[in-house]
Structure 1
Amino acid sequence: MKTEHNGVQLIAITSEHDGQRIDNFLRTFLKGVPKSMIYRILRKGEVRVNKKRIKPEYKLIAGDELRIPPIRTSSREAPEVSPKLERVAQLDRAILFEDDAILVLNKPSGTAVHGGSGLSFGVIEGLRALRPDARFLELVHRLDRDTSGILLVAKKRSALRSLHEQLRDKTMQKDYLALVRGEWPSHVKSVKAPLLKNILQSGERIVKVSSEGKPSETRFKVEERFGFATLVKASPVTGRTHQIRVHTLHAGHPIAFDDRYGVAVFDQQLTHTGLSRLFLHAAALTFTHPTTGETLRVEAPLDHGLKQCLTVLRQKKNA
């Protein structure tokens, strides 16, 4: 990168950013600059690639020369993201593994992976506040806001490509723990049901089993029984939105405290345990490290609320 005397920045795009959309590159490169300003300079043609105007969806190519104009933000303009320090500190404590290529986080329940939709704070915003020198931080996959557990973040474009390839090839193993209603039958080791996603007028996503949906499969194993509830390990083969939540419901065993697909009567049976959140936790992730080629298995411990729930259920079962 070089900077001209008038504040214009000229950047030579390397293979690290080959294939990345220009708007996403700028949002990472111009930290602290509001999204609205980034899209404004793109629309006005102030950002040039190889001396030509480009659209926000333009994908960078290794060897491109990117021209970025001097950015002046008004002191009156509030930053788009102002994460609370305690929530950032909570994320820092939740890091399970980190090196130059990847970061693995035990995401707390109730934290979205991205800010937006009225939320000023998400995992990515928090990590960017924690790692201000990191030029690249992108989610490899997603977790629902109320689901806790392992979330994988790439710190290099090449790492993101490698990990996305593992997801496409289904060589990445994800294991979740879920507390479901009733006695899960031991012989039900897999649920295959096509899933169709609907977006309501409110913007809320609702998923249902439908012959018009995409093929979806989740494998299940009983971990522990409590009579009116079962702790199961759920391993999604495909990665559809709300897949485990809808597949457990389809099997007749909805997850505890699921505000979209759950059953209020089951939730009431669990109030004595102190549980008040969705009992779905991404407990383990097995994958190939994108740079070393080593097989990594990372496990995320349950939070206090989930542990306490299981402790109370075990005490009641053994009483």
Structure 2
Amino acid sequence: MKEITEIRKEVTFKEVTPEEAGGRLDNYLIRELKGVPKSMVYRIIRKGEVRVNGGRTKPEYKVMAGDRIRIPPVRVSDAPVALPSPRLDKVAALENAVVYENDGLLVLNKPAHIAVHGGSGVEYGVIEALRALRPELRYLELAHRLDRETSGCLIIAKKRSALRFLHEEFREKELSKQYLALVPGVFNKRGCTVRAPLERITLATGERIVRVNENAGKPSVTEFRVRQTFRDATLLECFPKTGRTHQIRVHLAHLGFPILGDEKYGRRENDAPFVPLGLSRMFLHAEKITFQDPVAGKTVTVTAPLPPELQALLEKLEPAAAE
């Protein structure tokens, strides 16, 4: 493993380039202070140790070209996230998982069981793996996120300008995503729309979860359509209209149809009949993503094929009885 040793021991000053302009201050610092925990980044901003053009500011401040940013000394006891060896099988496999690419971005068919970034007990994630595989690329950043156990379309920006463009699409809801989820039982409608506000909470055990809360939750909307019905399961197309954490998973659990294999919001008794058929992970896959490509200058739809283990499971399910 190649250790990242970019731990600041003295005050440094950075000038924001035109390419970096438009991003949030906290994200700028997270990139500059690779390996430093996010909690520490927010702490030094809050304490006023970070200065922009000589003054204090907030994490959400949008940096501008020419801004002079003071970065204080940072010492951490935690080891920074390391770049994995590009020869590791799991890392090398990501090169073949790229399903779309140009000079500004790439779309990866992210495998399950790998986080999008390292930290908090995760040795490395997709972004660190790609940086190890593509050391010639000076800029690689996540445009959005997928849960560790979710596979499918994940956009990685190769230029700051592309990242800004994509983030604007997310804000304006011009980018659309389609997921596939397998749920137990027969979904009794051809489709439905769920409007259930979601709230993130931390349990007494320290576990962080999301739940429906009509009073304190943030507005959250997901559309569901039935793609295929089996004797004891339903394959759903899921279209999140908002981007809340665990949104699809919680909305389906709220309906009484938790995703098969979901260890956080699902039920073991629902999963049990499907384990002998090959259920070994959460059946949630980001199948398609449609966006305006800032390099190609046109709308692009990218499809990530269903992973072999999920496709094999579908092929073992009994079809629904003819009506």
Note whether the superposition's TM-score is higher than 0.5: yes
TM range (shorter): 0.7 to 0.9
1:136 matched to 2:112? The reply is no
Unaligned runs of 5+ in 1: 1-7, 70-76
Residue 245 of structure 1 is aligned with which of 228, 249, 263?
249
Distance 1:97 1:261, change over 3 A: same
Which residue, 196, 219, 223 being the options, matches 2:199?
Answer: 196
Q: State how far apart, in whole Å, the 2-side matches of 1:304 and 1:267 are.
A: 19
Please report how far the alpha carbon of residue 66 of structure 1 lies from its aligned counterpart in structure 2 after TM superposition. 6.5
TM-score (norm 2): 0.81
Q: 1:223 aligns with which of 227, 230, 237?
A: 227
Distance (whole Å) between structure 2 residues aligned to residue 179 and residue 172 of structure 1: 24
- Match of 1:296? 300
Worse-superposed segment, 204-213 or 18-27: 18-27
Aligned to 2:181: 178
Cα RMSD after superposing both structures:
3.3
Structure 2 unaligned runs (5+)? 1-10, 73-77
Q: 1:24 to 1:238 in 2, by over 3 A?
A: closer
Residue number among 146, 150, 154 corresponding to 2:153 in the alignment: 150
Deviates more, 1:94-103 or 1:184-193: 184-193
Cα deviation, 1:114-169, whole Å, max 9, x if unaligned, reads: 11110111111111112223222221111111111111111222211211121122
Amino acid at match of 2:270: F
Q: Is 1:29–1:135's contact at 8 Å kept on the other side of the alignment?
A: no
Q: CA deviation at 1:53?
A: 8.6
Runs of 4+ residues over 6 Å off in structure 1: 8-11, 45-50, 53-56, 66-69, 315-318
CA distances 1:13-64 after superposition (whole Å, capped 9, x unpaired): 332111335664466467xx6437x97xx89x999976x5978957532023
Number of positions where the alignment pairs a residue of Structure 1 with one of Structure 2 = 301
2:95, 2:316 → 1: CA distance?
30
Describe the superposition over 1:244-298 as per-residue Cα deviations: whole angstroms up to 9, x where unpaired.
1111111111110110111212101101211110000000001111233201000
How far off is 1:317 after superposition? 7.6
CA distance in 1, matches of 2:105, 2:144: 13
Amino acid at match of 1:305: E
**Partner secondary structure for residue 92 of structure 1:** helix
Please report how far the alpha carbon of residue 83 of structure 1 lies from its aligned counterpart in structure 2 after TM superposition. 2.2
- Whether the 8 Å CA contact 1:28–1:135 is kept in 2: the answer is no
Identity percentage of aligned residues: 51
